[in-house]
Amino acid sequence: MRAFFMDYRMDNVTTSKYQLRRMFLINAGTNKALPSNRITVVDPRGGALVTGPNGVGKTMTLRLLPLFFGFSPNRLVGDDSNRGGMVPFILPEESSAIAFEYQRGDESELRLAVMRREPSDSRSPFYRIFNCGWDQSLFVRDGLFITDEESKSQASVKYSKKFTVAEYRSVILRTAIHTKDRSIRAFQADYSFAPVPLDNLDKLIAAMVKDSVSFDDITAVAVSRAQQNLGRAGESGRLPFRQKQSDLQAWLKTNRACQMVIEQKAKVDELRNWMSRYNAAENDKRALWWDVSTLMGKKESLNHLKRQELGDARTAWETECQYAAQVLDQLQGSVASAGERFTEVAGNLNELSRTREWFERENVTHWAALQSELPTLKQQKATLADQVAIASQGQEEAIRQYETLRNDARLAHNKLIGTLEASKSAPNSIYQTTCEGIDASAAEQANSLRVEAEVIQDDIQQLVTQKREEFGRLDERVSNPAVSQEALNALREANSTLQELHNRLNDAQETKAHALAAFQQAQEAFTRQESTITAHRQRLADCEANFSKAQSMLAPEKDSLLYALRAHPSDAWKRDLATVLDPNLLHRSDLEPLFVEEGGSLFGWALDTSKITLPAWTEDAALRDGLARADEERAAAQQQLHSSEQDLARIGNEHKISNDDLANANAAIQILGGQIKAQRQVLDRANEAVRVERDEGVSLAKAAKEAILKDINQLQAQIAASKKKLSVDLAAIEDRRTQQRRIALQRRDEAVAQISQSITNAEKELGETLKAISEQERTHLSEQGIDVGTLNTVRAKINDLAARISAIENRDAVIKAWREYTESAGETRYEQFRLQVNSAKTAHESAQTALSSHQRNWDARTKEMKSTLQSMEEVIDVLSTETSKLQLLLESIGPRPAFVLSTVDTSATYEQMKGRQSTIQSQLLEAERGLQNSFGALERVLCSADTQLAKFITDWMGERVSPEASIHTRAMELIHCYSSIGPQFIRPANQTLRSFLTNISSLQSAISEFESEVRSVNARLQAGLSQVRCFERIQDLTLNIQPTFEDLGFYKMLKRMSEAIRNYSLNQAAMDDTLPAPADITAAVAEFASVLGNDGNLDVDLSKHITLSGSVRDNGTLKEFKRDSQLAGISSNGLSAILRITLVAAIINTMRGSAPIYVPWVTDEIATFDGPNLRALMQMLAENRIDVITAAPDLDPLLHPLFAQRYLFQDRGRIRERHVAPDQSTQAHEEGSAA
């Protein structure tokens, strides 16, 4: 078949634009369903006028223009003139094609979109786009039309893949399409008609072809425009909400159960509290065991130490007693020696005292002085005797005798004087001897006193030195007070124990950190594994659903449509009915299928189903293969789920172990914290004991210092007193020496005076004697006789003298003794003996005082030591008793528990430990009862909340604890189970809720954004319409596109729901997966669920919630329209067509914006316009970059110049181009002819 074509004159304008340049019909059929055997072309640029007689295919040819935009060929016509289909009609042969040359930007950017039909299915069109402008070689070779495959083989340019109608529409209009083919976007970049999406432009162009504008199409464009502006280009005009009511109800039920679980937090906290109390009591019991054991050991050690101390004290006491006995013997010996010395010197003193008393009693000094007169007295006595004798003799003899008497008196006197004078040397000698004795005695006494004072002072000074040394030691003790080794050991032990506790606490904290990290890892692993199991469960559910679906396809339920089809003896339905049957109807049991033979029609419609590929669900072998695959996938999913559940059990066990380790670490830290606190108290007590001992030592040392200082002062005072006493004694000795010398001198002087007096007396007596002799002589001579009176007187004197002489002579012994005493320095010896007696008495009294003091001190020391020993024995008895009681108490507490470092010290008692045991036992019993009650109440409530929750708890407890396990173990596991309810129920429920809320929020946001964008589109459309002023009769044209979601039943509820969601998000509740949804959001979900149908799906058709209304002033009269029919009948046909064209032009302007896009469209209503209106219309279309193509049997030649291109259509697809001559006559030029 040969092809004919004609060259088309090209525009020399090279501006950048997007425009359909030409439409080529290659061997196409436009009338009579026959191939034209030619190539014809229509150029819409600047407007194209098609004229020709009726029935030559003008309208059909023009209606092909929407195919450029991907409009479905089968929707181009509405009559049944093409019973074979639109595609076979316009593309009668495989080599038939429709090609559209279009410009996308610069003129160098030309593309050629070619539409052909599938070789295997004449009703299935496809497209291919070549990266070039018109190229005849792509369609004709050797004068024959060629197919698509042949065209590809000789194409020298790049070309696209084969597109379906939907794919081509997506590429050419740059809209999204739901397909897995990711190359569409690249094709859009290379081949799209315009740089912006033009969704639904095909519908608008098709609507203009049909000379009617449907409000539905305008609504669809508005929806598409709004969706595109919102970045949802390519999405359908629906907002689906795929959420079943059953899902929401199930979530509400689960959430109520979760809420109930959360409401049990107080019970769980109570159970935890009982657990804590039980654990604390158990920890206290364990600590008590070790405290009792430690205390018993310490008391045993202390008992042993006290026994050693008692033995040491007794040994020391025996030694001290021996030493005290020795001291007592020494003191008693000193007392005896001092007593003997005192007796000795006292005897000597007494002997001298008696001698002195004898001398004083005998008045020895008087008689000693009179003894010197004894010769005189004897002479006087002799003289008087002689006188008496003479008196009795003669005178002569008497005178001689008187003279003799005188001579004798003188001789005696001289002799006496000589004797007396000689006796004066004796007192001097005695005086000298006495002074020497006095001086020697005084010197001896002074020397003795000095020596004694020096000894005393040396002893005292030695004591002072010792005291000062002791004072220095005490001062050192004040500066560095000594502490007992026991207190220091206790302090070191307390410090060591505290350090050990801190080390153990650090280890425990490190263990806790590891346990916490392990717990967190286990928690994360548990959570991930739960999510994995959830995914695996979902996968298993999907696999089981797929399996059930595949199984139901092979073995459908009775009364279902598929069951009826498979039960039919013939399988012809697989080739006809199955090809057009919606698979969603197969399993419905309410359709009452019945086979009725109607001659191959479907409700009166005949379809050539042979062109439709058989659906996969009719292939039994494929279904069986699918069932096998589904079964394999289900088994694999079950195995995977089983493996994941095993992993979850393992991870759960690890989680439990890590949780237990963490709990143990926390318990250990808590115990260690308490022990550290207690040990700090022990350390404080030890420090306090050390401080007290130091303070006491300081106080005692200070007191001892004060006592020693006082003693030193006293000793120094004693030294001073000794020195003073020595001075006084020396002064006294000197005074006594002086006095004794004075006395001796006085005695010497008295003796000398007495001798001198005796001499004087002798001289006087001599004179008196001589006088008497002379007087007697005178008297004798005078009287010469004897005078008896005188003689008696003389004799009396003789007797007196005799008595005096006798008295003196009788005292010779005492006088002799006195003289011997005096000559032997008796007074000096007496004074020495007196001093010795005083000294011996002082020494004896000192010895007695020392002995008494020692005895008193020893008695007190004995009493004190007996009390001390008794106290030590009592302490030992108490310790022995306490040890025995503690052993029994330790056995009653129970077996040896895990180690706990004890901080107890020996000040604790059995009674305290016993009291602690009673308290702990009461706490354990109380905690166990509390655990029983709390555990039972919590388990009952949790298991009654929800069947799945009850099963979860029952399975959990059954897998992890034995029914015979202790209440503590079961309670702990129930708490673990409760902690897992969140991840198992609350987290998935909240995740489901977030999914619900996201869907709901997305729906509300989508609706809200869509409302706002529709209003924006409406505003832009209104702005465009306000500029239309080119028609005299048409003014104030408006078109209001408004959303009407308020009519949507759940819209207000959706708003309330959105407000609840917003509040829910703002208060951070949405981020907390440990708590179920709050009451307000739950109520909102429940209310929202109530508006969903049983199937639970909401599908908001956006186009059904947009209303169109408008108005126009027609010749001054305001006319409104709200429906298609009102717009169509608003005025004459011409004005109504102008209104439709104006509205569509405004809508297209909103679609393309400012991009230089030229839109071609077709209208058959040109003939209805008068000249002015047509000119105004063409001007408006040109200004709006619309290339209009119109067809009419004939048109006023005067109007032909309004169109840049003019064509004459003839039969069998002939198209001639018409030119306007200068005289406005029309000439025809054949554009193409048949071969």
Residues in the chain: 1235
The pLDDT value given to residue 80 = 45
Cβ count within 10 A of residue 764 = 11
Q: Which of 532-541, 830-839, 1025-1034 is predicted with the least confidence, judged by mean pLDDT?
A: 1025-1034
Segment 770-777 mean pLDDT: 71
* Chain-centre distance for alpha carbon 796: 142
CA angle, residues 430, 435, 436, in degrees to nearest 5:
100
With bands split at pLDDT 50, 70 and 90, how would you rate the model's confidence at 1076?
Answer: confident
Residue 690: both structure tokens together = 């050390």
Provide mean pLDDT across the span 699-722: 76
Structure tokens at 1103: 């186009």
Q: pLDDT category, 1167, cuts 50, 70, 90?
A: low
More confident residue, 860 or 622: 860
Assess whether pLDDT exceeds 70 at residue 1030: no
Under DSSP, the state recorded for 983 is I
| Residue 1119, SS3 per DSSP | strand
Q: What is the pLDDT of residues 898-953, one digit of tens each?
A: 877 787 888 888 898 889 889 998 988 998 899 889 888 888 888 887 888 888 88
**CA dist., res. 903 & res. 678, Å (int):** 7
Bridge partners of residue 1110, in order along the sequence: 1039, 1121
Calpha distance 1148→217 (Å, rounded): 12
> Quick one: which of 101, 108, 100, 102 has its CA closest to 14?
108
Structure tokens at 1183: 């200004």
**Max intra-chain CA distance, the chain:** 256
Residue 984 is classified by DSSP as I
Task: Tell me what pLDDT residue 1134 has.
Answer: 65
Which has more confidence, 1146 or 1213?
1146
Residue 598, pLDDT > 70, answer no
Instruction: Lowest mean pLDDT of 86-95, 525-534, 717-726, 1212-1221, name the range.
Output: 1212-1221
Provide the 10 A C-beta neighbour count for residue 239.
20
Q: Are 306 and 875 spatial neighbours (Cβ–Cβ below 8 Å)?
A: yes
Helix crossing, 1079-1090 with 245-263: angle to 10°? 160
Query: What is the average pLDDT score of the chain?
Result: 77
Which of these, 467, 470, 469, lies nearest to 459 by C-alpha position? Answer: 467
pLDDT digits (tens, 9 = 90+) for 228-262: 776 665 555 666 666 677 777 787 888 888 888 87
Asked if residue 313 lies in contact with residue 872, where contact means CB atoms within 8 angstroms, the answer is yes
pLDDT at 583 over 90: no
Q: What is the pLDDT of residue 320?
A: 81
205-219, 686-700, 1064-1078: range with lowest mean pLDDT = 1064-1078
- The pLDDT score that the predictor gives to residue 8 is 33
Residues 6+ apart with CB under 8 A from 317: 865, 869
Contacts of 96 (CB under 8 A, 6+ apart): 26, 27, 28, 29, 35, 90, 116, 117, 145
Lowest model confidence (mean pLDDT) among 111-115, 698-702, 1071-1075, 1171-1175: 1071-1075
Amino acid at 877: D
Token code pair at residue 870? 């008794």
pLDDT of residue 14 exceeding 50, the answer is: no
Most confident of 489-493, 859-863, 944-948: 859-863
DSSP at 67? G
Task: Give pairs for 932-937: CB < 8 Å, separation 24+.
Answer: 932/967, 934/267, 934/270, 934/271, 934/274, 934/971, 935/271, 935/967, 935/970, 935/971, 935/974, 937/267
HSE (side-chain half, CA atoms, 13 Å) at 671: 25
What was the pLDDT predicted at 1224? Answer: 45
- Closest of 285, 278, 287 to residue 970, by C-alpha: 278
Q: What is the mean pLDDT of residues 336-349?
A: 80
Using 50, 70 and 90 to split pLDDT, how confident is the model at 792? low
Structure confidence at residue 1222 as a pLDDT band (50, 70, 90): very low
Distance from CA of residue 468 to its chain's centroid? 62
Q: Determine the pLDDT at residue 562.
A: 78
Band of pLDDT at residue 1227, cut at 50, 70 and 90? very low
Ranked by mean pLDDT, the top range of 20-34, 703-717, 721-735, 1033-1047 is 20-34
Q: Give the rounded percent of residues in the chain with a pLDDT score beyond 90.
A: 8
- What are the structural domains, with CATH classification, of the chain? 17-196+1155-1210 (3.40.1140), 239-260+996-1144 (no CATH)
How many other β-carbons are positioned within 10 Å of the β-carbon of residue 19?
21
User: What would the DSSP string read from start to end of 150-189?
Assistant: HHHHH--S-B--PBPHHHHHHHHTT-----S-THHHHHHH
Are the C-beta atoms of 200 and 222 separated by less than 8 Å? no
**DSSP secondary structure letters along 287-323:** HHHHHHHHHHHHHHHHHHHHHHHHHHHHHHHHHHHHH
| Six token digits for residue 541 | 């559910």
Report the pLDDT averaged over residues 1194-1206.
Answer: 79
pLDDT of residue 12: 41
Residue 849 scores a pLDDT above 80: yes
pLDDT band at 599; cut points 50, 70, 90: very low
| pLDDT tens digits for range 140-197 | 998 899 999 999 998 899 999 999 998 999 999 988 776 777 788 889 889 999 988 8
pLDDT at 851 over 90: no
pLDDT tens digits along 169-185: 999 998 877 677 778 88
Task: Round to whole Å and give the CA distance between 342 and 837.
Answer: 6
Helix axes 485-554, 987-1025, angle to 10 degrees: 60
Angle, CA of 19, 23 and 26, to the nearest 5°: 155
Choice between 891 and 701, residue whose per-residue pLDDT is larger: 891
In whole angstroms, what is the distance from residue 585 CA to residue 460 CA?
A: 133
In this predicted model, which residue has the larger pLDDT, 1220 or 1152?
1152
> Where is 558: in which H helix or E strand?
none
Give the per-residue pLDDT at 146. Answer: 94
For the segment 349-372, what is each residue's pLDDT rounded down to a tens digit?
787 777 877 777 777 777 777 777
Q: What angle, 0 to 180 degrees and rounded to 10, lies between the N-to-C axes of helices 987-1025 and 215-229?
A: 120
CA distances in angstroms from 500 to 242, 496, 506, 903, listed in the order given: 65, 6, 10, 11
Q: What are residue 24's DSSP bridge partners?
A: 41, 99
* Mean pLDDT, residues 522-526: 78
What pLDDT score was predicted for residue 1096?
A: 54
Highest mean pLDDT pick, 32-36, 756-760, 942-946: 942-946
Q: What is the pLDDT of residues 604-637, one digit of tens each?
A: 566 666 657 677 667 777 777 777 888 888 888 8
Give the best-scoring range by mean pLDDT among 26-35, 139-148, 493-502, 841-850.
139-148
Residue 953 main-chain phi, psi, to 5 deg: -65, -45
Asked whether residue 11 carries a pLDDT value surpassing 60, the answer given is: no
Burial 882-913 (b: 16+ CB within 10 A, else e): bbebbeebbeebeeebeebbbbbbbebebeeb
Residue 595 binned pLDDT confidence (cut-offs 50, 70, 90)? low
Q: Which of 115-124, 223-232, 893-902 has the lowest mean pLDDT?
A: 223-232
